[in-house]
Amino acid sequence: MHQIKFGTSGWRGIFGEDFVMENCRVVTQAIADHLIAAGGQERGLIIGHDSRFLGERFARETACVLAGAGIPSFLCNRDTPTPVIAGEILRRGTSGGINFTASHNPAEYNGIKFSPDWGGPALPQITRDIEDRANAMLGTECYRVMPLDEALLSGMVEEIDPRPDYFAALEKLIDFRAIADSGMTIAVNPLFSTGRGYLDELLQRTGVKTICVNNYRDPYFGGFPPEPAQKYIGDFIGRVKADPSINLGLATDGDADRYGIVDEDGSFIEPNYILALLYDYFLRVRDRRGNAARSVATSHFLDAVADFYGQQVHETPVGFKYIGEYIRDGQILIGGEESAGLTVAGHVPEKDGILACLLVAEMVATEGKTLRHLLTELYRRVGEFHTHRDNIRLSPELEQEFARKLASPPDNIAGEKITRVVDIDGTKFFFVDGSWMLFRKSGTEPVVRIYCEAGNPRRLNKLCRAAKGFIGL
């Protein structure tokens, strides 16, 4: 029997193997029991889903299990982005939300993400309690399912449309008039998923010329993972590159909490660079002041921008939940991760790909320059940063040897003197010139993730080779 295990953003599994209706009922009951034990169940939960197979059915069944446990719910009336659900949790003041999504994972996956009442991803102490409760109940009929008709009639379940209120929230954060007045043409790619009718409609309703691709629901996501990374959106990059009328390409992932940005010449702009560019834009053009937060795996480009303006950066473990805490507590202006997660002060403490795309559009429109031009200018002000990430699958022998090496970290790698070690999440080695490499072991498979950063491409390539050599490749 598969055990329930929550990762950095919920429990995920494969359809027909561990992700089956029975296990979803058990996890829902575990969430209900967690809330009841904490005494916070009376405010109810938001329930949503992305565009994967059976999303509506899983969401409805969850509402019925919650109703059986005496917990009211607000059921989204269509597939809904994760940041929209986060906003609705805060707007209604509910006890939290349950979202059926596997985000950017391939079509054969689905997942359950639980967010508590502050709107961000649940912290480890909460997910551990839900895990323990769920695993103790596996194989037992530990829940009562109230029929949906009865739950609706009794008021235990209410269908809602959270989109208008989310639109209103973004209209306070984005200068849509500047985007429209620029005369830009923007290509939008929701990757067949929940971003449909959000990013495109927000732009179109303010008069921005918009070209939409992959703008219908497809649970197979066109045959690729719904991740707006360069290797998966080649068709979109080609479309932007081939059409001289397009000034910017904007993409969102499976639950629209991640973003992918394409410059007018078809160049894919890495999320690490977008985070630094937007922070610079807020400080320099919007004239706002505030610190930033990033994960340990994210580029120090953000730190260089902060230093230039006399601000500070908080470093967190990987997982947006930790950045969300800083947003929740009003301690930062912007927070993000190298994996294309981003949010800003005054918005939800959850990553929002729709918001990120709109901020990039506003920045390009206001500055009147391409992203490549803006990046070159920022390099001149704060220095260059070049990053790379690899996922390395380990043999049992390599895995054992790698663990031994990290247990007693060396003082140099490939002749490079190590000046500092950070171990808040994985092991991060710094070198004399400020370059660094990070090793993070997967908690679910024999894979180590390598992150490297240097001041120029040649130095970066040397660092990546040294990192692989350290592993034994």
Q: Work out whether strand 313-316 and strand 436-441 pair parallel, antiparallel, or are unpaired.
A: unpaired
Note down the domain range covering 293: 173-382
pLDDT tens digit string along 8-20? 778 999 998 999 9
Question: What is the three-class DSSP state of 220?
Answer: coil
In order of 79, 93, 166, the CA distances from 152 in angstroms are 19, 20, 24
pLDDT tens digit string along 126-175? 999 999 999 999 988 788 999 999 999 999 999 999 999 999 999 999 99
pLDDT value of position 414 = 86
Q: What is the pLDDT averaged over residues 256-263? A: 98
Predicted TM-score (pTM) of the model is: 0.95
CATH number for position 181: 3.40.120.10
pLDDT tens digit string along 356-380? 999 999 999 999 999 999 999 999 9
For residue 466, what are its two tokens? 């040294």
Residues 426/438, Cβ–Cβ less than 8 Å: yes
289 and 402 part of one domain = no
pLDDT at residue 417 tops 60: yes
In order of 59, 89, 159, 231, 429, the CA distances from 46 in angstroms are 10, 6, 10, 34, 42
Q: What is the pLDDT averaged over residues 22-51? A: 94
pLDDT at residue 452 tops 70: yes
Query: How much is the mean pLDDT over the chain?
Result: 95
* Angle 91-357-99 from CA coordinates, rounded to 5°: 45
To the nearest whole percent, how much of the chain has pLDDT over 70?
99
Of the candidates 271, 350, 283, 354, the residue with the CA atom closest to the CA atom of residue 313 = 283
Q: What is the pLDDT averaged over residues 270-284? A: 98
pLDDT value of position 443 = 67
Q: Give dist(CA 440, CA 84) in Å, integer.
A: 30
Residues 194/50, Cβ–Cβ less than 8 Å: yes
Question: In residues, how long is the chain?
Answer: 473
CATH number for position 404: 3.30.310.50
223 and 328 part of one domain = yes
- Amino acid identity of residue 200, one-letter, is D
Specify if 168 maps to a domain. Answer: no
The DSSP H or E segment spanning 109 is strand 109-116
411 and 377 part of one domain = no
Q: Which of 129, 162, 195 is the last residue of a domain?
A: 162
Specify if 167 maps to a domain. Answer: no
Of the candidates 277, 384, 273, the residue with the CA atom closest to the CA atom of residue 338 = 273
pLDDT value of position 442 = 78
To the nearest whole percent, how much of the chain has pLDDT over 90?
88
The DSSP H or E segment spanning 100 is strand 96-100
Q: Which of 162, 186, 203 is the last residue of a domain?
A: 162
pLDDT tens digit string along 320-339? 999 999 999 999 999 999 99
Q: Give dist(CA 264, CA 270) in Å, integer.
A: 14
148 and 190 part of one domain = no
List phi, psi (to 5°) of 245. Answer: -80, -15
223 and 244 part of one domain = yes
pLDDT at residue 1 tops 60: no
458 and 368 part of one domain = no
373 and 444 part of one domain = no
The DSSP H or E segment spanning 209 is strand 209-212
DSSP structure string for 328-388: HTT--SEEEETTTEEEETTS-SS--HHHHHHHHHHHHHHHTS-HHHHHHHHHHHH---EEE
For residue 233, what are its two tokens? 């959106």
In order of 71, 83, 97, 410, 419, the CA distances from 92 in angstroms are 15, 14, 11, 52, 49
pLDDT value of position 472 = 81
Which strands, in side-by-side order, build the sheet including 436-441? 386-393, 447-454, 436-441, 427-431, 416-422, 412-413
218 and 264 part of one domain = yes
Q: How many domains does the chain fold into? A: 3
In order of 105, 250, 334, the CA distances from 328 in angstroms are 27, 27, 12
Q: Give dist(CA 84, CA 167) in Å, integer.
A: 9
246 and 134 part of one domain = no
Rg (CA), the chain: 22
